[in-house]
Amino acid sequence: MTVSQLREKCVGTVKAKEGEEELLEQFWAANHYVAGSYDTQGDFERLNQDMVAVEKGIANRLFYLALPPSVFKPVTSMLKAACMSPSGWTRVIVEKPFGKDSASSADLSEHLQKLFTEEQLYRIDHYLGKEMVQNLISLRFGNMIFGPTWNRDSIASVTITFKEPFGTQGRGGYFDEFGIIRDVMQNHLLQILCLAAMEKPVTTSPDDIRNEKVKVLKAIPSLSLSSCVLGQYSGDPDSDDPDARLGYLEDPTVPEGSSCPTFAAAVLKINNERWDGVPFMLKCGKALDERKAEVRIQYKDVPGDIFNGGTVRNELVIRVQPDESVYVKVMTKTPGMSFNLQETELDLTYKSRYKDARLPEAYERLILDVFVGSQMHFVRSD
């Protein structure tokens, strides 16, 4: 394949914004394509020779493993044997799924740690690059208004939700190998849970933040089936969307009779002083009623109610997508002569408040972090 042929395949997805057409041309001009197999050292030696031919001075190398998980091992072994930078740094980005269970994850981790140092490895979870996920640390630890109430004394529950309005769209064969739990819950949602529940780190350095995340995970007991709900979507025969009329098992790429879940809900508990007794509810699914990802923190009822049951619980909602926002549901008096209460919102919607701000894509942030060597938003081996 030539770079021109590769560019043709990307016409529908790699587009320049107005005024950035020349930058896109410069990007494509910097591309090179080398074909080879995943497990042949000669092909990787040829890749190394091609890289040396275009490198000047101190040359850093970044390898992004956007590959089938089954070839992570041979590819990384070949990279270590033939493609390490002789003059600069070498870093490796590993995409999910990072193993299929605890044993395979540990096996892959052990393999990678024999080849690379922890500073060279970047296990990417693109949700950690999203604006509002990164904002969780700032909201929690940069505002006195939230800190004193961020505990079991004031908070009734925490719900972390991920919803997609479409099904597998012909990718059911891939999805069926992993399911919604491995695809979304145990990585995206669990990482958000860690940021919402962790203690204040000593500093904002990557290791201090990741140390606090690990403490949260260690405090979560193993999940029992009685605390989970699993489901699989069926088709809606009345829908105008042809894709919506197909159930999961009607996707021709899905194995017949598959019991793979496309929806999962789980209630996690955290056994520590801050969160004892507070349920953390994780919910994720495909082919649902809307596209949404959010963290919803519901506070307890106001003690000593003087409004005859007219109040409802306060909520702090952090909307990750779409339309990034932070809003707080509060009770206020209705305007006018009456003294009735109504629920309203203190609303910070980014596209309204920061009209001219450019919010970079999650992968854009994270790849830049790799270039500068920051591992704050990446997952550590433990």
Instruction: Tell me which residues are annotated as active site.
Output: 188
What is the C-alpha separation between 225 and 227, in angstroms, rounded? 5
What is the C-alpha separation between 174 and 273, in angstroms, rounded? 41
| Phi/psi-derived region of residue 257, left when phi > 0, alpha when psi is between -120 and 50, beta in every other case | left
What is the C-alpha separation between 126 and 123, in angstroms, rounded? 10
Cα distances (angstroms) measured from residue 288 to each of 37, 166, 180, 210, 323: 39, 7, 13, 33, 18
> Whose CA is closest to 378, among 100, 134, 162, 106?
134
User: Which run of H or E residues covers position 22?
Assistant: helix 21-29
Most distant pair of Cα atoms in the chain: their distance = 83
Contact by Cβ (8 Å): 357, 351? no
Find residue 299's DSSP bridge partners.
155
Contact by Cβ (8 Å): 283, 184? no
126 C-beta neighbours (distance < 10 Å), count: 18
* Residues contacting residue 228 through CB under 8 Å, at least 6 positions apart: 264, 265, 266, 267
User: Which run of H or E residues covers position 78?
Assistant: helix 72-82
